[in-house]
């Protein structure tokens, strides 16, 4: 495959070091990587879409082939629109697998042109999630080793 455009979709509320680990791995093997934030009207996020996009733009600055975007509706429709060949998803542990497999199979059924590629983050991030980061930050624990300094700053400001 030549000139592979991969989409890394997610909620990113907020971006963690686990996401960044995956972005770094993805940026190495794909020609272009579009990190796409889902505009999900059902969820009640801590950070607005604009705040999440801005943080992502800042922390992905080191990778010139990484772009930040927002999407709504079906991921496969968005992938078609962007002419993407790949959907990138991270699998941290076996517990992620079932849900991810279900999504990958459904997405393949909906759009066989797009291939889902799974990557594993470093073991150090295998238990990390945005939800846990939000929770422990709100309860006063240090999040220094889980998120980039900018995100820590924004989380603190949001919570206090």
Nearer to ligand PNS, 60 or 107 (CB): 107
Provide the token pair at 7: 């989409």
Applying CB under 6 A, which part among 7-15, 21-29, 60-68, 141-149 lies near ligand PNS?
7-15
- Selected binder of ligand PNS within 28, 48, 70, 74 (CB under 6 A): 74
Please indicate whether residue 92 is annotated as part of the active site: yes
d(CA 109, CA 40): 22
Shortest gap between Cβ of 6 and ligand PNS (angstroms)? 13
> How many residues bind to ligand PNS according to rule CB under 6 A?
9
Among residues 9, 26, 121, 148, the one that binds ligand PNS under rule CB under 6 A: 9
List the end-to-end C-alpha distance of the chain, in Å, as a whole number: 48
Give the closest residue to 119 by CA, choosing from 55, 57, 33, 15. 33
Q: Does 26 bind ligand PNS (CB under 6 A)?
A: no
Considering only 17, 60, 85, 107, the residue that binds ligand PNS (CB under 6 A) is 107
Question: 98: which DSSP letter?
Answer: H
Q: At what angle do helices 149-159 and 130-138 cross, to 10 degrees?
A: 50
């Amino acid at each position: 495959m030549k000139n592979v455009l991969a989409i890394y979709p997610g909620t990113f509320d907020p971006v963690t070091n686990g996401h960044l680990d995956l972005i770094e791995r993805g940026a190495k093997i794909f020609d272009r990587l579009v990190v796409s934030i889902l505009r999900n009207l059902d969820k009640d996020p801590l950070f607005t879409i604009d705040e999440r996009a801005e943080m992502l733009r800042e922390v992905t600055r080191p990778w010139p082939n990484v772009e930040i975007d927002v999407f709504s509706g079906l991921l496969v429709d968005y992938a078609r629109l962007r002419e993407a060949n790949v959907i990138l998803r991270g699998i941290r542990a076996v517990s992620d697998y079932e849900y991810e497999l279900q999504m990958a199979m459904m997405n393949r059924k909906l759009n066989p042109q797009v291939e889902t590629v799974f990557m594993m983050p470093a073991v150090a991030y295998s238990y990390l999630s945005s939800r846990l980061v939000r929770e422990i930050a709100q309860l006063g624990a240090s999040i220094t080793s889980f998120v980039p300094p900018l995100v820590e700053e924004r989380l603190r400001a949001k919570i206090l």
